[in-house]
Amino acid sequence: MFGNKENVSTHGATTLIAQGTRVEGDIHFTGSLEIEGTVVGNVRSDDQSSRVRVLHGGLLEGEIWVGDVVINGHVKGNIYAGNLVKLASKAVIEGNIHYSLIEVEKGAEVVGSFVLEQESTNISKFPKEAQSADSK
């Protein structure tokens, strides 16, 4: 399920933060972002068809504001997914997850709350107080 290659045209170009790489600062992107290394900062895309994947061994210390989120690594921060969140068996989340659809495999760990958004949500429509934390 998580190892399947999806159609590249669905998510556009892919940006990779490779294992052993550390990025400090916010990342704004379109398409797909894959994190195998460490990112200290927020990750955001205003494109609803965008996707971020934190792969096994990857670490993100910051918030995620993206259409689709797939986690099999470690995230220390809140997740705001406009469409879908998938948590694989090795996922560790320390923060709240805002989602419309969610898929959780056995073994995933979440220290935080699950917040159901009633319908697919444009990322920019999340509450303003949550967005203001992003800009700090």
Q: pLDDT tens across 43-86, in order?
A: 999 999 999 999 999 999 999 999 999 999 999 999 999 999 99
| Structural domain total, the chain | 1
Residue 108 lies in a domain: yes
Domain range for 94 is 12-134
Instruction: Establish how many alpha carbons lie within 13 A of residue 32's alpha carbon, considering only the half-sphere containing its beta carbon.
Output: 16
Residue 68 lies in a domain: yes
Q: Phi/psi at 2 (nearest 5 deg)?
A: -85, -20
Q: What is the helix (H) or strand (E) element at residue 8, kind and residue range?
A: helix 8-11
Band the pLDDT of 1: cuts 50, 70, 90.
Answer: very low
Residue 104 lies in a domain: yes
Residue 127 has a pLDDT of: 53
- What's the predicted TM-score (pTM) here? 0.81
Residue 3 lies in a domain: no
Of the two residues 20 and 5, the one the predictor is more confident about is 20
